[in-house]
Amino acid sequence: MTKTPIGRKLGQKVKKGKLKASSRRWLERHINDPYVQRAKLEGYRARAAFKLLEIDEKHQILKGARRIIDLGAAPGSWSQIAAKVTGSTEEDIRVAAIDFLEMAPIPGVKILQLDFLDPTAPDKLMEAVGGTPDLVVSDMAAPTTGHQKTDHLRTMHLCEVAAHFAVEVLAEGGHFLAKTFQGGTERELLSMLKQNFRQVLHIKPASSRSESVEMFLLAKGFKGRRPQAADASNDAEAEPAAERHEVLPE
């Protein structure tokens, strides 16, 4: 599916010096990564751009999107794609991005340097995007502590908060995409998404490194918000969404 671009020759070694062996191996892997090279050639800020593009090629989540919210956006490759597909401009902002890290400006993207867990973040994002979004994407991951279980739980919490945000703001028919981990999506979260979307699935794109435990949770076809008074009586009758796992081929 993805061809190695013409550019830096693959298989380069990093000279031994003051770098630790583990750091040297990481650097070698990074500079020899065809997706890193391709991102540079195509003007994307990070290789993560191809994760979104591969998922969209199969599932068409960007098609027809008029407004997009990007959570955990730094360094901004997903926002670059979002601005292009929505036709967002400085005069007509259609993409809002948030991250606690600083991001260089992107034409057509309103960037908020703020923790998404800040209580003011949801309202600021909706004000920034200028209307009802058709797509909410999240590449958020909690800063690592070095304790694997703790890091996993913190990132899964971000996924859950992002999902509830999406249900609160999405236009009917809209989609939600978020980073998760293999085998880590909580049953309660999946149940909530199945009640609110027509299809729920886990995806491992080819551009996600094989050794990485990351996957992406995609909820397609938001059913729309129901009147609160009807929620209790309708929950039991809600049509369950389909769920499946897939691996996008190389």
- Catalytic, 16? Answer no
pLDDT at 230: 46
Per-residue pLDDT at 29: 52
Domain boundaries, the chain: 12-42, 46-240
The pTM score is 0.79
Interior CA angle at 244 toward 86 and 133, to 5°?
A: 20
In this prediction, residue 110 carries a pLDDT of 98
- pLDDT for position 129: 98
Model confidence at 244: pLDDT above 70: no
pLDDT tens, residue by residue, 105-146: 999 999 999 999 999 999 999 999 999 999 999 999 887 777
pLDDT at 32: 54
Alpha-carbon separation of residue 206 from 122, 181, 196, 235 (angstroms): 32, 15, 28, 36
* Superfamily per CATH, domain 46-240: Vaccinia Virus protein VP39 (3.40.50.150)
Catalytic option among 3, 18, 149, 179? 179
State mean pLDDT over 49-66.
96
pLDDT category, 184, cuts 50, 70, 90? low
- Tell me the β-bridge partners of 19: none
Whether pLDDT at 88 is above 70: yes
Output the CA–CA distances (angstroms, integers) from residue 96 to 70, 117, 129, 153, 180, in the order listed. 6, 16, 5, 26, 21
Question: Binning pLDDT at 50, 70 and 90, where does residue 99 land?
Answer: very high
Mean pLDDT of 203-225: 86
Q: Where are the beta strands (DSSP E) in 4-149?
A: 68-71, 95-99, 109-113, 135-138
How high is the pLDDT of residue 92? 97
Could you tell me the pLDDT band of residue 246, with boundaries at 50, 70 and 90? low
Q: How far is CA 222 from CA 163, 185, 213, in A?
A: 11, 19, 27
Query: Which of 10-24, 40-54, 159-173 bottoms out in mean pLDDT, i.e. has the lowest?
Result: 10-24
**Per-residue pLDDT for 249 more than 90?**
no
